Amino acid sequence: MQYMPNVINVIEAKRDGRDLSFSQIRDVVDGYTSGEIPDYQMSAFLMAVCLRGMSDDETIFLTRAMLETGETLDLSQIPGLKLDKHSTGGVGDKVSLALVPIVAAAGIPIAKMSGRGLGNTGGTLDKLESISGFRVELTAEQIIQQIKSVGGCLCGQTEKIVPADKKMYALRDVTGTVESISLIAASIMSKKLAGGADIILLDIKVGRGAFMKNIDDARKLAFVMRTIAAAFGKTVICELTNMDIPLGRAVGNLIEVWEVAKLLRGPQQYSYGFPIDERLYHLIVDLSNAALSLAGSSHTAVTLLEDGSAWQKFGEIVEAQGGDVNSIERWGYISPIAVVGSPNDGYVTDIDAEAIGRLALTLGAGRTTKDGPIDHLAGLWINAPIGSVVQKGTPLVTLYGRPSPTGRELNKEAKAFFTIGDEKPLPPSSIIEIIPDEIRC
């Protein structure tokens, strides 16, 4: 291994709280991506950034350096404004699965590149792969071709998109350096900028089940990401949304796709008595409307849901990527391993998103290591969302997946994730109301 003397100076400068130049940051990022800088030096650099922070200029430099390690998708051959969306990740977050077909159904081109789940939060790619035959790996040419033919795609990042982030993220994950606003902002924005869209919709999750546990940090992250977008001539919309409680009723892979499919199918499903989760519905409608209005569309999400065009577009996207939309219905034939009953009478006043995420992981719905196995049929269904009136024994949550630990042990554990109280709680909102106007930029 050949040492780069300059790297030590850069680490020391950051350790002492000094600002770094673009060339200093680029040397570190390039050196690490090419393998010239070893993990231990990069770890020291990342830790220095975590402890000392970065100015807005440095964060922009870092984003640029990371972006330039790979290729940028050239969407210029597709006419009109192109849209992308990113969520910082949460439990039961299936919004992208609905938003992409809604936006595409309005004729707005959308290329959504997603990631896999790690830890408590699920990944859109794992959910999509629970649809039989669905291919998430597309080349840049296939992405462009599909946007031209169908209007949208849901896929993974190509190998050539921000290779620096793949290495840096894996290292951050094991060195206690994930929770830095500058590092998170540069990681997300470098990938979004490489995706080539003109407008980027950012859903920043706040709460127990999210990276950002409090509103102040979420706001800071939103401002930094907006500043980066402006430096690259892009428009972003940032919404801070609630991740204290799980989003929707389903947590898992196929079960989440199934919940979205019911929602996209529109009003005839509701009249069959299928319980549409209002928080999920409102978040999908709100974020989709924000995207549509920014792209200059006169369509509204509700119309596109109600006239069936969003559902039709979902089917077209699934088919274009080799999937069988009918396979989603096999969810209805899966047997649960346990139904968890309420310990007493009252109202469901709270459901802990983080604990529910861990439970889904225990059932096999998520990964504990980067390349570990995943059970597409594992997951859970929340029978009694917040505000439900329950009696002792009323089902709170139904569990699907591996029966180890036993259904009985899980049953006991899961009861503790629900709070049953005497007073009816106020309905929880999905969008955090206190977002100042200027953060929606």
Piece in contact with ligand URA (CB under 6 A), picked from 27-35, 62-70, 180-188, 335-343: 180-188
Total binding residues for ligand URA by CB under 6 A? Answer: 7
Task: Tell me the two tokens of residue 188.
Answer: 């997300």
Reading the block at residue 49, the tokens are 């950034």
Among 184, 199, 222, 420, binds ligand URA (CB under 6 A): 184
Contacting ligand URA (CB under 6 A), which of 42, 73, 110, 188? 188
Q: Catalytic residue among 167, 172, 205, 219, which? A: 172
Asked if residues 286 and 431 have their Cβ atoms less than 8 Å apart, the reply is: yes
**Closest CB to ligand URA among 191 and 299?**
191
E strands, 278-416, are 338-341, 346-351, 379-382, 389-390, 395-400
Rounded CA-CA distance 41/35 in Å is: 11
**Which CB, 44 or 62, lies closer to ligand URA?**
62
**Which of 86, 116, 219, 299 is the catalytic position?**
86
Strands 199-206 and 379-382: unpaired
Stretch that binds ligand URA, among 33-41, 183-191, 276-284, 395-403 (CB under 6 A): 183-191
Q: Does residue number 383 form part of the binding site for ligand URA (CB under 6 A)?
A: no
Identify the burial level of 198 via C-beta atoms within 10 angstroms of its C-beta, where 0-12 means exposed, 13-18 middle and 19 or more buried: middle
- Give how far the C-alpha of residue 190 lies from the chain's centroid of Cα atoms, to the nearest Å: 16
**At its nearest, how many Å lie between ligand URA and the CB of residue 316?**
28
* 130 versus 177: smaller Cβ distance to ligand URA: 177
Closest distance to ligand URA from the beta carbon of 88 (Å): 5
Residue 225 and residue 196: Cα distance in Å, rounded? 16
Q: How do beta strands 418-421 and 346-351 pair?
A: antiparallel
Q: How far is the CB of 225 from ligand URA (least distance, A)?
A: 11
Residues 6+ apart with CB under 8 A from 84: 110, 111, 112, 113, 192, 195, 197, 199, 200, 201
**Of residues 62-91, which lie at the interface with ligand URA (CB under 6 A)?**
88
* Least distance to ligand URA, CB of residue 183, Å: 6
Least distance from ligand URA to the Cβ atom of residue 82, Å? 20
For residue 419, what is the enclosing H or E element?
Answer: strand 418-421
What the block records as the tokens of 316 is: 């077209």
Q: Is 412 a catalytic residue?
A: no
Annotation marks residue 371 as catalytic: no
Binding mask 194-213 for ligand URA (x = CB under 6 A): -----------------x--
Q: What DSSP string runs through 261-272?
A: HHHHT-HHHHHT
Quote the least distance from Cβ 194 to ligand URA, whole Å: 12
Contact pattern from residue 151 through residue 170 relative to ligand URA, giving x for each residue in contact according to CB under 6 A and a dash for the rest: ------------------x-
What whole-number distance in Å separates Cα of residue 338 and Cα of residue 374? 20
Phi, psi (rounded to 5 degrees) for 433: -70, -30
Comparing CB distances to ligand URA, the nearer of 207 and 364 is: 207
Looking at beta carbons only, is 183 or 360 nearer to ligand URA?
A: 183
| Cβ atoms 261, 310 nearer than 8 A | no
List residues binding ligand URA (CB under 6 A): 88, 169, 183-184, 187-188, 211
List active site positions: 86, 165, 172, 187, 191
